[in-house]
Each structure stands twice: as C-alpha cells, then as structure tokens.
Amino acid sequence: MKLFCVLVFSFFILQGEAQIVVQSQKKETASTKDSIKKKELLRYIGNGYFPTKYFDFDLRYLIKYNQYEGFRTGLGGVTNSKFSESIRIEGYTVYGFLDGKFKYSFGGGVRIAPKTNTWINASYTKDLQETGSSTFLTDKRFFQFFEPRLLNIELFHKHTTKTFWIEHQISPKLLTETELSSSKIEPTYNYTFNPNSSSSLTNFNLSLAKISMQWSPFSTYTKYSNSYIETNEGFPKFAFQFTKSFKDVFQSDLSFSKLDVRVNQNFTHKNSSSTELVAKGGITQGDLPITHSYHSYPNNVNKETIMQRFSVAGNNSFETMYFNEFYSDRFIVFQAKHRLKPFKITPWFKPQFVLISRSTFGTMKNPEKHENLNFSTLDKGYFESGFEINKLMLGFGLSFAYRHGSYHLPRFEDNFAFKFTFNINLEK
C-alpha cells in the first residue's frame, strides 16, 4: 500500500514537472515567434513600409524635397503575401509642386519558385533620376526619415523606362537579380553628349542588361513565413553588378559597359567601440553619357558661408564635396568610421563620438565629349576627414568635416562643412 502511494505521488510530481516543461517550452516558442514578428515589423518600417492587411504602403512617396521638384508628395505601395503568395502588384504616383508634373510607376510580379523565392517582374516607370547616381539592384531597400542629399540635388534626368527583371535567391546568403530595360532619357539641364565626331545627343534611348549579386557569407538567417530574416549580421559583405548597354537594340543610341563592386566590413571591439570600412569602385568602357557616370556622393551646396551650407550629413557622402563638382567614368571610394563607446552621461543621454575619413580617386577618359557642363576629375585623389557627435537629442547630432589634399580650396573656410546628423535605431 505504501509502495502504491509512493508511485501515485511520484506520477503526479512527474506529470506536474512535465506540464511545467511543456508550458515553459510553449512560452519560449511563443516568445521566439513574438520576437521574430517584432523584427519583421521593424524591418518593414525600417525599410520604408507601413503594413496593412493586404497592402503595404511605401513611406518613400509620402513627402520629399529637392531643388528641381520642390516638394514631392504622393502614394505608393505593394500587395503583400496575405493578398497573394504568388502574385504581387505595385506602383506609385507622385506630384512635384515646383515643376508641376506627375510621375508614376506601375507593375507586378509572379513567383515561379517559392523555395528559391524566384520572381518574374515587369514595370513601366515615368520619373526622375539623379545624374551620376549608381545603385545595386540587390541592395535592400534604403529608407531614411531624412534624406539629406536629396534636399540639394539639382541635376536630374527624366526617364521613361520599361523593365523586366528576375529575382532569384540561390541561398539565404546569395541573392541575385537580372534586369532588362529600355529607357528614353531626357536631361532636365542643358547638356549635349558627343559620342563621336559625327553625332551629338541631347536626348537618347538606352537598352540595358544588368546582372547583380549580393553575397553575405558570414551572416545567419532565420526563415519566417516565405522569406529569410537576417538574424545575425556577419562581415565582410560583397556586392557585384555588371551593366551592358546595347546599341541599335530597341532603338538604343549608345553602347557601353559598367562593372561595380562594393565591400563592407565591420569590426566590433571589446571596449564597445566599432570600426566600419567601405570600399566601392566602378569601371566603364564605351560611350558613357554623364547621366550614367559616377559622381562620388557629394553633399555640399555651393554657397558663400559655412552656415549657409549647413544641412544634414549623409551616411556615406562627402560632406565637403560640392554638388556637380566632379564626375568620373571610373572611380574608387574608401570610407572608414570608428565609433567610440557611447558616453553614458545619464540613462537617456548617451552621445557617441565618431571619427571619419573618406577618400576617392577617379578619371574621365574624354571629358570634352560632355558639353555645357563644367566639372573636374578626381585623378589626384580627394580627401576629407572629420568627426560626428551623434545622439545629442532625439537622434540628432552634429558633424564636422575638413577637405584636404590636392583639391584643397584657396579660401580656407570653403574647405569646412558643419552639419546636423540624424541616427535612429528602430530595433532598440
């Protein structure tokens, strides 16, 4: 009888412990799912989307400002997986108050292979693009509450573009995208391109093929729903892109090729400081118009005094380099940022000091082919150094940069840049 009572008592104890373990595992699983959902929501907002049941609104189109359009406002977005896991529809419409023009884009895609997240897409776009800008197709969407360079950009070209592209994820660590496009290009400024002695172009057509890859070999990913979330960011990261323009294909006027490469490296040190290194370069061949050249990311307006040039500093831009000052058909950029451990003055006031050094080299093979634009090349190398004091108040801080080296300007104060910074981390 005693043995029976002991067995019964032991059974209830073990059953209770088992229930506690199961409940604990359920709580851990629920907590993990909640954490992933939170990261997914933050990823949406951080990438510029506001999710609703079937449609994710694109925050990039709500309101912006630049020198050509003035205020630019509109609506856009894309259907999400609750609308359909195999079909998506996307588009936007915006209006520029200074130029008085509507711009728009519409398109969609079909997923043909869920396992590799392979999509076939097509779109039609009529909009503006910054002259000399160069981006990678595989870059994750980049969204900022403030886009500092955009405020002061003057040179845009209009483009009417038909695009067909394929997204394919070979693995979570290797993303590829292939794009075919046909564009009509119209610079909004006085510009003539002379590819040879017998022709001159003010407007032109381009037929482009692009192949882009982004490789993150040291990152770790967690599968959530039908996509992968980067749960642990590893370095270095690599991006490659090859662009080819075909003359006489769909009435294309020019033939050229471009190869772009970027490497990102971050080091976290034991004293809670970190170092970020970025190297990016591009090389071209053929008849390259100024619209598709490289501008090396300038972010300084050509005004008389330091305070008149006061604006918001960018993440990777040259704060002392004036807009439209340099263009290249081949270039390389180096940037180093060293972030010191935040100063814990109070629990809510933790400013951070950042040391910055940037340099770029570039050439232009035949600058005389680009008429009605005055610009220089970067053969001698451009250098700037400075520092930031970030997170002084509500994410805002201050930036100071100094231009030195071969392109140091005669007037001492023209080599300085003093600006705001803005840094916010949605995951904290």
Does 360 score more than 80 pLDDT? yes
Q: Is residue 9 part of a domain?
A: no
For tokens 């882009």, name the residue.
Answer: 212
- Per-residue pLDDT tens over the stretch 23-34: 444 455 555 556
pTM of the full structure: 0.87
**Is the peptide bond prior to 342 cis by the omega test (within 30 degrees of 0)?**
no
Which range scores top for mean pLDDT: 30-44, 221-235, 250-264?
250-264
Q: Is residue 92 part of a domain?
A: no
The answer to whether the beta carbons of residues 98 and 71 sit under 8 Å apart is yes
Which one has a higher pLDDT value, 109 or 3? 109
Does 277 score more than 80 pLDDT? yes
Q: According to the model, what pLDDT value does residue 12 have?
A: 40
The answer to whether the beta carbons of residues 135 and 163 sit under 8 Å apart is no
Q: According to the model, what pLDDT value does residue 299 have?
A: 95
Identity of the amino acid at 388: E
Type and span of the H or E element at 23: helix 2-46
Return d(Cα 369, Cα 289) in angstroms, integer.
9
In this prediction, residues 376-384 reach a mean pLDDT of: 97
Q: According to the model, what pLDDT value does residue 402 have?
A: 98
Which one has a higher pLDDT value, 231 or 164? 164
Q: Is residue 302 part of a domain?
A: yes
Q: According to the model, what pLDDT value does residue 314 have?
A: 86
In this prediction, residues 221-227 reach a mean pLDDT of: 73
For tokens 């061949």, name the residue.
Answer: 285
Does 266 score more than 70 pLDDT? yes
Return d(Cα 281, Cα 197) in angstroms, integer.
30
Helix (H, G, I), strand (E, B) or coil at 9: helix
State the residue range of the domain holding 116: 98-422
Query: Residue 85 phi/psi, 5° resolution?
Result: -90, -10
The b-or-e profile of 184-214 (16+ CB within 10 A means b, else e) is ebbbeeebebebeeeeebeebbbbbebebbb
- Per-residue pLDDT tens over the stretch 199-215: 899 999 999 999 999 99
In this prediction, residues 250-262 reach a mean pLDDT of: 97
Identity of the amino acid at 52: T
**Percent of residues, the chain, with pLDDT higher than 70:** 86
Q: Which residues contact residue 392 at a Cβ distance below 8 angstroms, ignoring those fewer than 6 apart?
A: 351, 398
For tokens 């629920």, name the residue.
Answer: 30
Does 49 score more than 70 pLDDT? yes
Does 428 score more than 80 pLDDT? no
Type and span of the H or E element at 123: strand 118-130
In this prediction, residues 390-418 reach a mean pLDDT of: 94
The answer to whether the beta carbons of residues 284 and 269 sit under 8 Å apart is no
In this prediction, residues 155-181 reach a mean pLDDT of: 96
Helix (H, G, I), strand (E, B) or coil at 273: coil
In this prediction, residues 226-235 reach a mean pLDDT of: 82
Return d(Cα 368, Cα 390) in angstroms, integer.
43
Q: According to the model, what pLDDT value does residue 8 have?
A: 42
Q: Is residue 21 part of a domain?
A: no
The answer to whether the beta carbons of residues 134 and 282 sit under 8 Å apart is yes
CATH number of the domain to which 323 belongs: 2.40.160.50
Return d(Cα 92, Cα 58) in angstroms, integer.
8
pLDDT band for 6, please (50, 70, 90 cuts).
very low
Does 22 score more than 50 pLDDT? no
Q: According to the model, what pLDDT value does residue 342 have?
A: 94
In this prediction, residues 317-322 reach a mean pLDDT of: 96
Q: Is residue 65 part of a domain?
A: no
- Per-residue pLDDT tens over the stretch 35-44: 666 666 666 6
Q: According to the model, what pLDDT value does residue 394 have?
A: 84
Q: How many domains does the chain have?
A: 1
Return d(Cα 49, Cα 46) in angstroms, integer.
7
- Per-residue pLDDT tens over the stretch 70-121: 999 999 999 999 999 999 999 999 999 999 999 999 999 999 998 898 999 9
Q: What is the DSSP letter of 216?
A: -
Q: Is residue 286 part of a domain?
A: yes
Q: What is the DSSP letter of 328?
A: B
**Percent of residues, the chain, with pLDDT higher than 90:** 70
In this prediction, residues 139-164 reach a mean pLDDT of: 83
pLDDT band for 143, please (50, 70, 90 cuts).
low
Q: According to the model, what pLDDT value does residue 20 have?
A: 44
Does 4 score more than 60 pLDDT? no
pLDDT band for 331, please (50, 70, 90 cuts).
very high
Helix (H, G, I), strand (E, B) or coil at 30: helix
Q: What is the full DSSP assignment across 329-390? A: SEEEEEEEEEEPPP--SSSS---EEEEEEEEEEEE-S-GGGEET---B--TT-EEEEEEEEE
Identity of the amino acid at 345: I
Q: Is residue 59 part of a domain?
A: no
Q: According to the model, what pLDDT value does residue 197 have?
A: 79
Provide the greatest CA pair distance for the chain: 111
Q: Is residue 366 part of a domain?
A: yes
Q: According to the model, what pLDDT value does residue 144 have?
A: 60
